[in-house]
Each structure stands twice: as structure tokens, then as C-alpha cells.
Amino acid sequence: MMLDQIPTAYLFFAAAIVLLALPKGRLRAGLLLIVPVIAAWQVWSMPLGMHYAVPLFGFELELMRVDKLARVFGLIFSLAAFLGNLYAWHVRDTVQQVAALLYAGSAIGAVFAGDLITLFFYWEGTAIASVFLIWARRTEGAFHTGMRYLIIQIGSGVILLAGVALVYRDTGSIVFETMTLGSLGTWLIFLSFGIKAAFPLLHNWLQDSYPAATITGTVILSAFTTKLAIYALARGFAGTEILIYIGVVMAVFPIFFAEIENDLRRVLAYSLNNQLGFMVVGIGIGSEMALNGTAAHAFAHILYKALLFMSVGAVMYRTGTSKASELGGLYRTMPKTAMFCLVGAASISAFPLFSGFVTKSIILDEAASGGMIIVWLALVFASAGVLSHSGIKIPFFMFFAHDSGKRPKEAPTHMLLAMGLTAALCIAIGVYPAPLYALLPFEVDFTPYTTSHVVGQLQLLLFALLAFGILMRTGIHPPEVRAINLDTDWSYRWLLPRIIRKVAAVVSGVWTGTLGFLVRRVKDIIAGLYHSHGPEGRMASTWPTGSMVIWISVLLGATLIVSFFS
């Protein structure tokens, strides 16, 4: 069977089986690099249209719907799998290697799913495969975090399945296409996508789980789950107005948590939430250019976010920590990692000539041209905020702040190579965005390098840098200290269990008291009956025959009276 006759996802699944038959070492690591390259070639060369229809219980499942929206996500997922596996070249853990293949394959399979049932299978596949990247850390904390992550991700799939069933009942169709929020079924599907996209108040699984994964697992996790949700929203709910406001909240609120967070991997997790907000706004606007901006920003974001996680991971690999309070001055012995981190910081901050500038500005431009001034202002504020917590805080406190006294070695060669390739792509996209624009779903009518765009962005960035400098000089900027910052998950991880225990104690006390009272009353009644009807009771004494006849007459008379009047 030729490779172009196999659904792309199955390449990864087959590779996972082959990997188990190979000895640990370079053969396995090489397989992890070859498969994404083959997948990318297949995605690039496959003609547009529906492929690989499979009948299942009366349904026609479309395993490969290839269009320009699916293709751009399929390509970046394949590229992310390659870069993530190159970064993890040193890993010889079978669990992580198999999980990485199954996770990437499931995400790519979901992107090309032409129907909601196929989407559901791959949706759950990403959940089950990815959790092993957390459990692979093999600590008690990672186990509990993985369980929470799995419950939420599987729950998202169950909600999706319920929504699919209701939509099929209402419409008789399982085609994965644009929907409107007009029924319980579509609302459930929307909620399922929102959980995976880390909507506000549904986001805590992200900050909880990503920093708990292995160093290489975090890089891989950052690429797939949330961007799959972004794709699903773009496919299913483009133009849904509520997404604009959800996206604005997503872009703004993580800034404050990221500013006070000490763990730099958690800072990046909040930053990931912030960047997803821009994409969700673009989907909510729903115009062709807004969807182009969403797809382009997802493409660029996967790269520069992976680059930042790689740089923090390399430091953690060499020092054993990602806490800002324990780092600083590492540029002396890790200059290449520092340089690559700065490229990622510049890209996420949307500096001109870096990838974030040529993608994020499309969404901002669409918000402005659509007359959404408040939305545009909120996104501008969020852009300034991301410069502070990811563009400055990450590299500054890791490499250039106070001298921690640590003098670790430079990152391993394969990590440097993965970071170097990713950094080169971030710069290439920023300098020459035309190839990326050509991949987007619709024709691109946008020029990023105009005087107004460049000057406006530089003004924003320079004022943000000035604000950071003033905050640092005046001591107002939150210090980097060892602390636990409370997010909304505190309500269900700490507060809710204690409330439940308190309520349970009260209910148990009331139940015990009520039950004791009832038991005592029953015992009293039994004792009374025994006293009157027991062997020594009054009713057990011998009655004269005349008394018995009188009582029978009374009962008979009462019966006749009742019968007469009824």
C-alpha cells in the first residue's frame, strides 16, 4: 500500500507500533523524526476534497477532509511534532515516545475529520495519549495532576458526544460544518470546544498540567490540544459573536496572573491562554481575513511558544528548576539558549521582523476596521501585557537579572538544534510572511509592513518597555519570590472539598440524630405494645364471654352504619 493511500493519522499510529519493536536508542529517535516529515509531505501533496470514506453502523465517516483550513493546521502540527521530537532526541522513555506519536496522530486526525463522530474519536485520542506525557514524570504530584487533566479532557469528549447525538437527532446529519448556537446540541459542542480551548473559568487545567509534565512533554503539549480546539471553533463556530467577548477576557485576564507567577513554565502557560484569546476573537469576528489571522497566528504561536518552552526547559534540564527566584545570570554559560529565548520573546511580543508581528496584526486590523474600538483597545492592552510577562520577564529573570551563582553547561546539541530551527522559522515568517499567507484558507489582502503598523507597534512596545523599567526601578513590579498564587481553581481544588466536608459533617450529624430519635421512638412503641399485648400484658388476660359478645356487636354495628352512609 502506498503512503498516499493511508490517512495521515495512521502514519503516526503505525509508527507507534513499529517503535515498540525497535530497540531503545537512535533508531527509535530517528523514527520519531521521519514520521512527521512523511506526514507533512502527504498533507502538502494531497489534493483538496474528501478522502477515505468508511461506513460504520449506517454512518458514512469521512477520515480525510482536505481543504486549506485543515491543511495549514495539518502542516504546523506535523512541523511541531518534528521539532518537539528533535528536542526530545535524548529521551529513551518508551512511554513518552509512544505517547508523542499517538498524541500528534490524534490531533492531525481530528483536523482532517469530516464528520463529528470521527472528530470525537480523535478528540478523546488526544486526551488519552497526552496524559502520559504528564505521568511520565513519575511523581505523586504528576499522577494527581494527570488524573485531574484526564477527567477534564475526557469530560470534554463526553460533552462533545452528547452534543453530537442531539445534533444528529435534530438535523439527521453528522457533518462537521459551521453551526449556530440555536439548540442544546450545538451549545454542548461549543462547551466541549471551549473546555479544550481553555475558556475563562475552564482554563485551570492548562496551568495545572503543562508545568507538571516532563521537560520535553511540556513542549509537545503546548502545540496540539489548545490549537486543535482553535481549529474546531474556526471550523464549527466562525462568526459566533459571543466568541469576541470570550476572547477579549482570555487575552486580558492571564496578564495579571503571569506577572506575579514565579514558575516560568506557569508564566508561559498563562501566556498561552493570553495568545489563544487573540485567536478566539478572530474566530468570533468571522470574516475571511479574521479567520486568516486566526490560522496564521495559530501557526506562528505554535512555533514561538514551543521555542519559549524549549528555552525554559533547557534551563530546567541543566539547573533542575524553572523558578525565577532561583535563576538569573545564566547568559554567561548558556548564551545560545539565551539568544533563542530572546527570539521567542520578540516573536510573542510582535516586534517587527518577527513572526508575531505579521500574524497578530491581522486580527487587530480586523477588529479596528470593524468598528470594535473597545475590543481593539483591549487587545492592544493585552499585547502590551504579553511583552511584559513573556517578552521581558522570561528572558530577564532567567538570564539577565540577579546572579544566581549557577554556572550550568549550555543546552545539549539536539536541544540547541531544535531551538535554532524554530527560531529561524520565527524570523523567516516575520521577515517574509508571503509563504505563510499563501497557506491560509482565504486570499490575503493585507500588508503588515506599512508605516502605520510598524510605527504604532514600536510605540506600543517602547512604552511597555518604559513601563516595565519604571516598575522595576520603583519597586512596584511584583518581586520574584517563592509563593503559591491562587487562581479560580482554588475554588474547586481547596474551597469546594472543604465545603463539601463541612456540609457532609452537618448532614451526617442531622441524619445520625434523626435516625437515633426514630430508633428510640420505635423502641418506645414496641415496648408499649409489649406492655399491653405481651404475655404479661392487659390484653393477654382472659376476657369474659359477655364482654367479647358486646365488642363484636359494637364492631358489627359500626360496620353497618358505615355501609349505610357510603
pLDDT tens per residue, range 263-316: 999 999 999 999 999 999 999 999 999 999 999 999 999 999 999 999 999 999
Q: Which of 483, 475, 304 has the alpha carbon at shortest distance from 394?
A: 304
- Name the pLDDT band for 318 (thresholds 50, 70, 90): very high
Q: Which three cell numbers stand for residue 167?
A: 445534533
Rounded to the nearest 5 percent, the helix, strand and coil shares of the chain are 75, 5, 20
Q: Which three cell numbers stand for residue 72?
A: 495549514
What proportion of the chain, given as a percentage, has pLDDT over 70? 93
pLDDT at 485 exceeding the cut of 80: no
66 within 8 A of 44, measured Cβ to Cβ: no
pLDDT at 469 exceeding the cut of 80: no
284 within 8 A of 363, measured Cβ to Cβ: no
Predicted confidence at residue 389, as pLDDT, reads 78
Looking at 46-60, 338-352, 433-447, which range is the least confident one? Answer: 46-60
Q: Which of 10, 208, 242, 41 has the alpha carbon at shortest distance from 122?
A: 10
Give the contacts of 155 (CB within 8 A, at least 6 positions apart).
195
Mean pLDDT of 425-433: 96
Give the contacts of 68 (CB within 8 A, at least 6 positions apart).
48, 439, 440, 441, 442
Q: How many helices (H) and strands (E) does the chain have?
A: 23, 2
Please give the model's pTM, rounded to 2 decimal places: 0.86
Q: Where are the alpha helices (DSSP H) in 387-495?
A: 393-395, 413-431, 434-439, 451-474, 490
pLDDT at 480 exceeding the cut of 70: no
Q: Residue 509 to residues 97, 385, 498, 503: CA-CA distances in angstroms? A: 52, 51, 16, 10
What's the rounded Cα separation, in Å, for the pair 416 and 248? Answer: 35
Q: Where are the alpha helices (DSSP H) in 320-411?
A: 335-348, 355-369, 373-386, 393-395
Where do we find the cell 475571511?
288
- Could you tell me the maximum CA-CA distance found in the chain, to the nearest angstrom? 120
pLDDT at 259 exceeding the cut of 90: no
Residues 333-378 have pLDDT tens digits of 999 999 999 999 999 998 999 999 999 999 999 999 888 999 999 9
Q: Is 64 helix (H, G, I), strand (E, B) or coil?
A: strand
What's the rounded Cα separation, in Å, for the pair 21 and 27? Answer: 11
110 within 8 A of 120, measured Cβ to Cβ: no
